[in-house]
Amino acid sequence: MKVVMINDCAFVGETLLKYMPPDMEKQHIKRTRGLWSKTFGLAYKILKAKGDVYHVHYLLQDCYIASRLRKKPLIGHAHGSDLRTSLKHPLWSRIVRHNLKNCDKVLVSTPDVFNIAKQFGSDVEYLPNLVDTELFYSKPIIRHDGKKKVLIASDSNWNVKGTDIAIRALSKIKGEVDVSIIEYGVDFGRTIALASSLSLRLNVLPKVPHNRLNEYYWSADVVIDRFKLGSLGMVSLEAIACERPVVTYVSSAYPEYKDFPLKDVKTPDGIIEAIKGNSQILWNDEYNYLIMHHDPNKVAKRIIDTYLCLSENVK
């Protein structure tokens, strides 16, 4: 069997290919944001690709082109913003709707968008994101007598990530924490300004390639992720794999998260309580959840089973 992986999101596609059997034939069609690369160049690559199954990340032009070129069986993999945001966009909405209706199967990476996808197609499945545990792996926290080292690891985005909520929480315990933040996100400037107005000092870290993020996780005692969506992001999963407790908002409304130990934390007081709690116990429980649901070998096996089923049905 040959799988053609098209585009990517948060390195999920790349990690899936990495953990598939070595005897499985694989092709990964990537693109840049350049006009040619994401239009005619992309279309040419997809046209020339020959595979037994086509797996496309993000339900935008990549998936639309593959659908129009009649690549089958076609899996459309939604990662969140393509359904939360693009469905409301005057141009992208038609493309996303087409993809939802014409893919042979739709995968969603977070449960909060499952019902959105289900409105347009019947074969929709939640596939937990997998973590590259060869890259993000356990290292014990270095014990020290100073302030608790807190890392804000997700991008600064107030509407989606609720970075402002995290800043307001940390400002209330600024005498107890040493806070670092990675320099990226549409609201990074606003975040720095808010912290300054609240007399919260932030250590600004440069944005680094994905394969070096583990260094930032290992240097922290606690990792802060997002507080708006109610679903687990890749930052949370990677940090947990690195043996760091994560404070993030996971909604108890989603049965997929029933085993996750920290739920409904989305207010400054809730964030403070979680940060000041027993970090080792929290991490142990979070790690058990990670291995149960996001282990790369388990997720890769599950997607291979999906490939086999779809390819048989097409034949």
**Host domain of residue 64:** 2-129+296-314
- Asked if residue 302 is part of any domain, the answer here is yes
Query: Structurally, how many domains does the chain consist of?
Result: 2
In a domain, 134, yes or no: no
**CATH code at position 89:** 3.40.50.2000
pLDDT tens figures, 102-144: 999 999 999 999 999 999 877 999 999 999 999 999 999 888 8
pLDDT of residue 315: 58
DSSP the chain: -EEEEES-STTHHHHHHHTS-TTSEEEEE---SSTTTTTHHHHHHHHH---SEEEEESTTHHHHHHHHTT-SSEEEEE-SHHHHTGGGSTTHHHHHHHHHHHSSEEEESSGGGHHHHHTT-S-EEE-PPP--TTTS---PPPP-SSPEEEEE-S---TTTT-HHHHHHHHHTTTTTEEEEEES-STTHHHHHHHHHHTT--EEEE----GGGHHHHHHT-SEEE--SSS-S--HHHHHHHHTT--EE----TT-GGGTT-S-----SHHHHHHHHHS-HHHHHHHHHHHHHHH--HHHHHHHHHHHHHHHHHHH-
Same domain (yes/no): 310, 276: no
pLDDT per position as a tens digit, 56-85: 999 999 999 999 999 999 999 999 889 998
**Does 142 reside within a domain?**
no
Question: What average pLDDT does this structure show over 280-290?
Answer: 96
Q: Provide the pLDDT confidence category of residue 290 given band limits of 50, 70 and 90.
A: very high
